[in-house]
Amino acid sequence: MSLSQGRSYLAIPGPSVMPDRVLSAMHRAAPNIYEGELHRVTASLMPDLRTLAGTRAHVAMYITNGHGSWEAAVSNVFSPGDRALVLSTGRFALGWAKSARARGVETEILDFGNRATIDIARLAEALQADKAHAIKAVAMVQTDTSTSVRNDVQAVRAALDAEGHPALLLVDCICSMGCDRFEMDAWGVDVVVSASQKGLMTPPGLGFVWFSDKAAEAQKSAACVTDYWDWAPRAAPEEYWQYWCGTAPTHHVYGLRAALDMILEEGLSHVWDRHATLARAYWAAFEAWGAEGPVELNIADPALRSHAVTAVRIGSPHGTALRDWVRENCGVTLGIGLGMAPMGDPAWHGFFRVGHMGHLNAHMVLGTIGAIEAGLTALKLPHGKGGLDAAAAVISGA
């Protein structure tokens, strides 16, 4: 007998759960794109997007996803033949590298593997070796969604400063924006990218690029920039169409407005705290189950774990078996493992991820943990006792 009727829950790391308030805001007739309310609502997004990223600098919006946001940032920063340094802690940093190489940027990757954060000593060495300051930008992710590591942006900034290196600092916050604390100006970040479908609780389709004055200056000589990706008119449009370089993503504008209202009404630091506590509930459950048997958190050090996503190792084929079981029997869909083993390789089935970003509360987390515990039991996978108890203890102590 399946117990999966009722409202299903997509607990993958994006797209995340869309709040009813966001969906209702989008459920309307097409607005006029030439004048009126849409123009006012669009303009109102800009200061709130700046607040979200902790910046007084600039923000540009795009009709795109995360991949487009990378391309937007790269196009505005580089000229062909420039050099970039990418700090890889999983599959997502490689998106920076792929996009940069496709624009003719000479891109060096420092690879820190799938279970660790950035080794600052190795970064310092690479910066010292660049005596001529040829590296134009250093690119990283705050949270790598494949490994669920959360990197220390301030430590990378400090390394650049310690070496007196003038490179721009580019940070992918697609997974972490609105989930983990991020302060663009205080942390000295030059370019930030994000997208609508994760912590920002809005359907996929909007990309964002925030950029500092230093990056704006550098952009003036960046030869990769195209008409469509050019961030300058989008960030300071003289006419409405320039926000989008064409027709506005009308319904997304209303959806994002509702999502930002929800975040700001709750308070950004409360939103971060909520994500931290709900993440700790997941970790407590996984650690209890992991006391016996194959369940293991991919990132051992809690200080390096994302508050938006958790990657779990469980051995093949148990990852796929467990995902199938909880979806078919409990109506919860967990995320596939990503970047840990090649697709098609039997090892690929040994991982899964849980997204815990955005529109999320304690009962969704406890329900998912209960479903996973039931799955471990049903599949006769050895596991430590008390996962759900451990999670409930975190929630009750919050």
Enumerate binding residues for ligand PLP (CB under 6 A).
Answer: 14, 65-67, 92, 95, 141, 145, 172, 174-175, 195, 204
Least Cβ distance, residue 93 to ligand PLP (angstroms): 8
* Rounded CA separation 12/10 (Å): 6
| Residue placing its CB nearer to ligand PLP in the complex, 204 or 367 | 204
Q: Side by side, which strands form the sheet with 106-111?
A: 58-63, 206-211, 191-195, 168-172, 135-141, 83-88, 106-111
Token couple for 270: 């409360």
List C-alpha distances in Å: 13 to 20, 91, 148, 289, 355: 19, 14, 10, 22, 4
* Rounded CA separation 147/87 (Å): 14
| Residue placing its CB nearer to ligand PLP in the complex, 195 or 371 | 195
* Rounded CA separation 14/359 (Å): 11
* Rounded CA separation 392/282 (Å): 10
Least Cβ distance, residue 281 to ligand PLP (angstroms): 21
| Residue placing its CB nearer to ligand PLP in the complex, 100 or 392 | 100
Least Cβ distance, residue 64 to ligand PLP (angstroms): 8
| Residue placing its CB nearer to ligand PLP in the complex, 99 or 316 | 99
Contacts of 129 (CB under 8 A, 6+ apart): none
Three-state DSSP state, 335: strand
Name the burial class of residue 374, with classes exposed (0-12), middle (13-18) and buried (19+) by CB atoms within 10 angstroms of its CB: middle
Nearest to 216 by CA among 168, 154, 182: 168
Least Cβ distance, residue 356 to ligand PLP (angstroms): 13
| Residue placing its CB nearer to ligand PLP in the complex, 170 or 195 | 195
| Residue placing its CB nearer to ligand PLP in the complex, 207 or 375 | 207
Least Cβ distance, residue 141 to ligand PLP (angstroms): 5
* Rounded CA separation 164/124 (Å): 11
| Residue placing its CB nearer to ligand PLP in the complex, 210 or 289 | 210
142 and 170 Cβ atoms separated by less than 8 Å: no
322 and 352 Cβ atoms separated by less than 8 Å: yes
| Residue placing its CB nearer to ligand PLP in the complex, 116 or 374 | 116
Nearest to 312 by CA among 345, 338, 330, 273: 338
Least Cβ distance, residue 15 to ligand PLP (angstroms): 9
Least Cβ distance, residue 110 to ligand PLP (angstroms): 17
Which residue sits closest to ligand PLP, CB atoms considered?
Answer: 66
Least Cβ distance, residue 355 to ligand PLP (angstroms): 9
